[in-house]
Every structure is written in structure tokens, then in C-alpha cells.
Amino acid sequence: MAATTTTTSFKAALLSTPSISSSTKSTVLKPRFTSSSSSRYSPIPKSLIAHHVSTKTNAIVAKMGTVPSPVSETTSLDFHTSVFQKEKISLAGHEEYIVRGGRHLFPLLDDAFKGIKQIGVIGWGSQGPAQAQNLRDSLAEAKSDVVVKIGLRKGSRSFAEARAAGFTEENGTLGDIWETVAGSDLVLLLISDSAQADNYEKVFSHMKPNSILGLSHGFLLGHLQSLGLDFPKNISVIAVCPKGMGPSVRRLYVQGKEINGAGINASFAVHQDVDGRATDVALGWSVALGSPFTFATTLEQEYKSDIFGERGILLGAVHGVVECLFRRYVEDGMSEELAYKNTVECITGIVSKTISTKGMLAVYNSLSEEGKKRFEAAYSASYYPCMEILYECYEDVASGSEIRSVVLAGRRFYEKEGLPAFPMGKIDQTRMWKVGERVRATRAKDDLGPLCPFTSGVFVALMMAQIEVLRKKGHSYSEIINESLIEAVDSLNPFMHARGVSFMVDNCSTTARLGSRKWAPRFDYNLTQQAFVAVDSGAPINQDLISNFLSDPVHEAIEVCAKLRPTVDISVPPDADFVRPELRQSS
């Protein structure tokens, strides 16, 4: 899709958008729930519909008109590799370059890791256990002599878990964090973001000249930029960023031992290359993790899209969406169990499964004609309220504000300045999540929940709004689709379906947990105060917005990416454990 076409259609959609303020008085679709808790929406005569454009909408047009266009043909993310086969793909008219993965490539790992004798994996949180084990197993299958060693701080209770995974002091694969950093040729810094911000100087001082720093998140770059600093010039800096949480990275890799190609997609970036090895090392790292395909990005684009995505559809937004929809359905007469099924179970089950295998359009096309009307009402009313929060969130991330808030929050976890420690509390004790426990306890093994048209419309509107913000901010389609769609439906949502959204919010990475707590209420309030008021007040459905959704070129790009996705769906048992070690130990 050409940049000019995107800008024009987006502006046209905005200009034809009805007001979603509480001042709208007419009614198009009014929700009603019967005593049996089944839902229906009664159409209101068109004579009661008044179409107008609000002042607020015009303000959005003015703002979004200044946003950068999508990645253009001149924005190159091309790269050179002397070890792996690079492939050119076309996504919505944009050429991008990827490397396909597969276990048949493991014999090339020694060539990719030329000059590397030891890979130090620092940290045992979300990504550490998965990446260390995947790297170790892949190198062993390749009969490589490269050693994978875990580095932990002295006295860490994670030593026991690392030993249980097969890493020991006796065979040189487990040791002190600083000894491991100093002795490694490739240092994978997988400690929490706030810990990186507090310890980066010591990490840099212990690294060998010409060694390589590997990151799985661009957070540290964002933190350094906020301080006017950069990485030392005598080391290379690369990133491999799996588009899924650590347990998903490991789970699909293990499944991939039986089905070649199973795994989690990853992006890679070369921020600094002191000796020409960085690209092949990064690609080797990604292949060894089991990534089905690896696409190029920059470290800056990665942290912007990733931190933003965590606060958006990957966690924060979906948390806010299900809370406000559950409350709405119960208030309109649904039983709590049915309301939970029509919110959480719908999104994390049937909707995610359908999007994963067939794309977003399949969700809409699988509905009845009446169901499509409900979907359209929800989509039309929710798109811009979601985009408003997403737009603000992206700019908070890009400006460094979110990064600073994560660093400061991490420091509030401990007593200082005479004030007590304030670690994050859990959210799983409220009524909604207790209802979820009962629903999952009686759920049939393969029950994916009901396909609720209204819930589907809100969720898909959220997904499309996130896609559009990233598109306007210049991200590649590979990054957009993985951060807004694939990571949600192929990695996070299956775990949420198994254990609940609240379990994910309470047990994912510190940065994501903080983001969800901060931004989920914003989505909740904006949808409740704007979108649902619009539906209940009868704001007309924006047909241009629906038409744009149905014809958006992102759907073609998703089809291309679907052919590159894992050849097996992630298998998540009901008792799937993805609690971080320190949380298990503290409980």
C-alpha cells in the first residue's frame, strides 16, 4: 500500500466518522439481554439517525495528518549474510527480507558463531530459561563445542532452577554473573529492564573487547538515549527479539522437535558491528532459538513497538477490554459465567484461533447477518477510542516517558528515602477473575468459547487501530503483524485461555505488568465512556470505517506471514506454569 493512499483513506475515514461523545442522542443498535441471558440488538428506524462529525474527530485528523507515513521503499532494512539464505517477500506492496528457520539449519550454527567459544545467558526470568535451553539443545544437535553458560548473582534462588534444567557449576555451564560476563564472547543480557538500567555500567565494564552484547529487547537503548549515552564502541551490539514470552519460546521449540518449523518468530537488529560478524551471529542466535522466520528491524523501532504492544493488544488493552465488556454484559442482564465466556473465553479462544489460522476477516465472515451488524456497531464505536489511547501510549514510549516510569517503578520495589517498598500486587482476587476460575474448572478440553459478535468487534477494532498507529509511525509490516497479531494469538492468548488474563497480568515481565496496570484502566474508561455510550445512544455505524477494514491491504500481508508461521499450534495444558521463578519462590 502506497503511503499516500494510506493517508488519504485514513483521513477520509476520520472525516466520515460519527461523533462518539455522550451528546449523540439517536439510536442505531440497542443491546438487550433476555432472562435466558442470550443477546439481541433491536434496529431503530433510520429516521432517528443523525450523522455528524465531531470537533474531537477533526482534532484527531489534524494530529494524525502529521504522523510519518508507513515504511517507504527507500527505508531499507536490507542486510547481508554469508551463512544463511536471505529471502525477499512482499507485504502489502512493501519488499522486506527474512531468513527462514528450521532444524536443518543447525549444522550452520558453528559458521554463524565463528569466533565464539562461550555464550553467557545472564538472568533466569521469562526469556532466560527458554533461550538458554533452546541454544544448548540446538548446539548439541549441531555437535558444536560452543558452551552455553548461565550467569546469576551470588545467592540467587534461581540457581536451583537452572540446575534442574541441566546447567551446573561442575560442567562449567552455571556460575556467577560477573564471571560469566567476563568470560563470554556473546553476552545475552536477559535480566529485567529495570535491572538493566541499574546495572548496565557494570556489565559494560566486565565485557571483553570485541565481544558481542545480545539483547532481546531494545529497552536498554531507550534508557541510554534518555540519558544522552550510547553503548561502548569496542563491542558489537545485536538483538534477537522473539515475538512471544519465554515459556512460548520453549514450548514451541520442544514441539518443533517433532514438527520442524514450530517456534516463535523473531526480529533481529544490528545496532553496532565492530568486526563484521554481528549479522550472522544474530541470525544464528535466532535460528538456534527455533524461530520459523526472522525479520530485520532496528533496536529503536523494536523497543518502541514492543513496549507499546505490551501496553496495547498484547496485554494492557485486552485486560481493559475484557473488564469493561464483562461489566457491561453483567449490568445488561447476563449471568456472570456467560459474561466471562463472552469476553475472555471468546477473545482468548475462538477469536484468537480464527485469526491465527484464517485472519481477522474470517472472524467477521463467520458471523450471521445479524451478528455482522453487532460486530459493525462495536467496531465502528470502538476504533477511535482505542486509537486515541494507543496513539498517546506510543508517543509516551517514543519520548522515553514509559521507559523512565519502568525504571522508577523498579526502584520503588525496595525501601528508600524512608518510604516503604511497594512491589506490584496481584489483580486475580476480584470477582471477575474468581468467576473465570469457575468457568475454566468446568470447561471441556477443546472448548474455545462462544463467538460473541460485539466482543469480536471491539477486539478487532483494537487490533486494527494498533496496526494503523504502527503503520503511521513507520514500522515494517513484519513488525506490525508480529507485534499486533501473531504474538497475541499465537503466544500470549493461548496461555491466557489456559490460565486467565489476570494470571498473565500477575506473572509476565515486570515491564509488561507495569504497563498493563497503568494502561488497562485507560482502555476500560475510554470504551465505557465513549464507545458504549455511542452504541447505546444510537451513533450511526461508520460504513467507510467498515469498508476500510474489509479492504485493508494488511489482510494480504497477514496471509503471507501465515505461510511462514509455525506449522503447529502451541499446546498449552490447563496447569501451564509460566510464573517467573522469583514469584514462585516468594509465594
pLDDT digit string (tens) for 299-319? 999 999 999 999 999 999 999
- Does 334 have pLDDT greater than 80? yes
- Does 489 have pLDDT greater than 50? yes
Supply the pLDDT for residue 576: 60
| Nearest partner of 486 among 304, 352, 385, judged by Cα | 352
DSSP 336-364: HHHHHIIIIIIIIIIIHHHHHHH-HHHHH
What is the rounded end-to-end Cα distance, in angstroms, of the chain?
Answer: 50
Name the pairing type of β-strands 293-296 and 266-272: parallel
* Rg of the chain on CA atoms, in Å: 24
Residue 315 shares a structural domain with residue 187: no
Supply the pLDDT for residue 20: 32
Residue 190 shares a structural domain with residue 225: yes
Least trusted range by pLDDT, from 59-73, 187-201, 375-389, 405-419: 59-73
**Three-class DSSP labels, 436-498:** HHHHHHCCCCCCCCCCCHHHHHHHHHHHHHHHHHHHHCCCCHHHHHHHHHHHHHHHHHHHHHH
pLDDT band for 425, please (50, 70, 90 cuts). confident
Supply the pLDDT for residue 126: 84
- Does 4 have pLDDT greater than 50? no
CA 555, CA 507: separation in Å to the nearest integer?
32
Give the domain range for residue 521: 308-562
Residue 516 shares a structural domain with residue 412: yes
- Does 32 have pLDDT greater than 50? no
Residue 401 shares a structural domain with residue 508: yes
Residue 259 shares a structural domain with residue 383: no
How does DSSP classify residue 85? -
How many angstroms from the chain centroid is the CA of residue 38? Answer: 33
Least trusted range by pLDDT, from 469-483, 491-505, 536-550: 491-505
Mean pLDDT of the chain: 85
Residue 504 shares a structural domain with residue 529: yes
Handedness of CA 508, 513, 519, 520 (dihedral sign): positive
22 lies in a domain? Answer: no
Instruction: Quote the longest CA-to-CA distance of the chain.
Output: 80
Give the annotated binding-site residues for Mg(2+): 306, 310, 483, 487
438 lies in a domain? Answer: yes
CA 479, CA 477: separation in Å to the nearest integer?
5
pLDDT band for 493, please (50, 70, 90 cuts). very high
Residue 94 shares a structural domain with residue 215: yes
Residue 274 shares a structural domain with residue 399: no
Least trusted range by pLDDT, from 51-60, 410-419, 429-438: 51-60
Residue 241 shares a structural domain with residue 108: yes
Alpha helices in 142-275 (DSSP H): 158-164, 177-183, 193-206, 219-226, 246-256
Residue 273 shares a structural domain with residue 312: no
Give the annotated binding-site residues for substrate: 368, 509
Supply the pLDDT for residue 579: 46
76 lies in a domain? Answer: no
| Contacting residues for 349 by C-beta, under 8 A, at least 6 apart | 447, 448, 449, 497
Mean pLDDT of 100-118: 96
pLDDT digits (tens, 9 = 90+) for 132-187: 999 999 999 999 999 999 999 999 999 999 999 999 999 999 999 999 999 999 99
- Does 35 have pLDDT greater than 70? no
Q: Is the Cβ–Cβ distance between 508 and 126 less than 8 Å? A: yes
Q: Is the Cβ–Cβ distance between 117 and 185 less than 8 Å? A: yes
11 lies in a domain? Answer: no
CATH number at residue 406: 1.10.1040.10
Residue 98 shares a structural domain with residue 246: yes
Count the domains in the chain. Answer: 2
| Contacting residues for 429 by C-beta, under 8 A, at least 6 apart | none
CB atoms under 10 Å from CB of 334, counted, come to 22
577 lies in a domain? Answer: no
pLDDT band for 63, please (50, 70, 90 cuts). very low
Mean pLDDT of 80-100: 96
Alpha helices in 290-422 (DSSP H): 299-311, 316-331, 336-340, 352-358, 360-365, 369-398, 401-412
Supply the pLDDT for residue 509: 82
449 lies in a domain? Answer: yes
347 lies in a domain? Answer: yes
Mean pLDDT of 312-333: 97
pLDDT band for 226, please (50, 70, 90 cuts). very high
CB atoms under 10 Å from CB of 120, counted, come to 26
Supply the pLDDT for residue 56: 42
Give the cell for residue 461: 477494532
User: Annotated active-site positions, please?
Assistant: 217
Q: Is the Cβ–Cβ distance between 261 and 102 less than 8 Å? A: yes
Give the cell for residue 39: 443477546
Q: Which residue has the higher pLDDT, 561 or 43?
A: 561
- Does 47 have pLDDT greater than 80? no
How does DSSP classify residue 169? T
Residue 336 shares a structural domain with residue 409: yes
Long-range contacts of 501-504 (CB under 8 A, 24+ apart): 501/318, 501/319, 501/322, 501/344, 501/348, 501/433, 501/436, 502/426, 502/427, 502/428, 502/430, 502/432, 502/433, 502/436, 503/428, 504/315
Give the annotated binding-site residues: 306, 310, 368, 483, 487, 509
CATH number at residue 119: 3.40.50.720
248 lies in a domain? Answer: yes
Q: Is the Cβ–Cβ distance between 483 and 305 less than 8 Å? A: yes
Give the cell for residue 70: 508507513
| DSSP element (H, E) containing 548 | helix 543-551
Give the cell for residue 490: 499465537
Supply the pLDDT for residue 467: 98
Last residue of a domain, one of 262, 292, 322: 292
